Chains A and B, each alone.
Chain A
Amino acid sequence: DSGVTQTPKHLITATGQRVTLRCSPRSGDLSVYWYQQSLDQGLQFLIQYYNGEERAKGNILERFSAQQFPDLHSELNLSSLELGDSALYFCASSVEFQVPIYFGEGSWLTVV
């Protein structure tokens, strides 16, 4: 158990819908990262927050947004979902920058 908690573990939804994925980082970790793993793209970095502020942005679509709340949990919002958004979404956390990061178990999203 990495200490990073993600909910829900599985989600099936229809095209055009909106979903929210939630992440609770390890106790004491200030940095939260979101990654997407799809069959054809591998593990892609989406976005990073540090103590509530956005710190780095990767290949995140405009239809996706995220935030980190004062209690340090984070949410990833995916809207106008398309079939190609089906993937395993990981949250990870670390104490600060450039130290080991630990991944949650992921949220499996299936868009039908």
Chain B
Amino acid sequence: GIQVEQSPPDLILQEGANSTLRCNFSDSVNNLQWFHQNPWGQLINLFYIPSGTKQNGRLSATTVATERYSLLYISSSQTTDSGVYFCAVARNSGNTPLVFGKGTRLSVIA
């Protein structure tokens, strides 16, 4: 099956700093989503971005499908950004479920 690798596995930032999270995947996809899992366990949709670039406030994401990677940018980080960020993809054939990476655990300290 498709493989999803996220880096870095852990990240500690000072409040106000910027960061880039990366997601590599092993096959062509037609669905790629970024999620934020907050400390209470909730999985929050950030972006649906199988290709191209999107921005939502301090967050933006870029997927280069031909090179099989996606990047999530967090600017001016806040303590509320802490949690685990997951990338999930579905293969570009038929009806296949989302496969999740292992996530990047982000801790933003004041």
Within 8 Å of chain A (Cβ to Cβ): is B61?
no
Residues of B34-54 contacting chain A, CB below 8 A: 35, 41-45, 48
A-B contacts, 24 of them at CB < 8 A, read A2-B44, A2-B45, A33-B98, A42-B100, A43-B100, A45-B99, A48-B97, A56-B96, A56-B97, A58-B97, A88-B41, A90-B43, A100-B31, A100-B33, A100-B48, A101-B33, A101-B98, A103-B35, A103-B42, A103-B43, A105-B41, A105-B42, A106-B42, A108-B41
How many residue-residue contacts, CB under 8 A, span A and B? 47
Residues of B81-100 contacting chain A, CB below 8 A: 86, 88, 90, 95-100
Given contacts A103-B43, A105-B42, A106-B41, contact A98 B97 (CB under 8 A): no
Within 8 Å of chain B (Cβ to Cβ): is A18?
no
A33→B96 CA distance, assembly (Å): 11
Task: Please list the residues of chain A having a beta carbon within 8 angstroms of any beta carbon in chain B.
Answer: 2, 33, 42-43, 45, 48, 50, 55-56, 58, 88, 90, 97-103, 105-106, 108
- Nearest residue, chain A, Cβ from B90: A98
Instruction: Establish whether residues B33 and A56, one from each chain, have CB atoms under 8 Å apart when the complex forms.
Output: no
Within 8 Å of chain A (Cβ to Cβ): is B105?
no
What does DSSP make chain B's interface, helix, strand, loop or mixed?
Answer: strand
A58→B102 CA distance, assembly (Å): 17
Q: Told that A2-B45, A98-B90, A100-B31 touch, could you supply 14 new A-B pairs with CB distance under 8 A? A: A43-B88, A43-B100, A48-B95, A48-B97, A56-B95, A90-B43, A98-B30, A98-B31, A100-B48, A101-B33, A101-B98, A102-B45, A103-B45, A105-B42
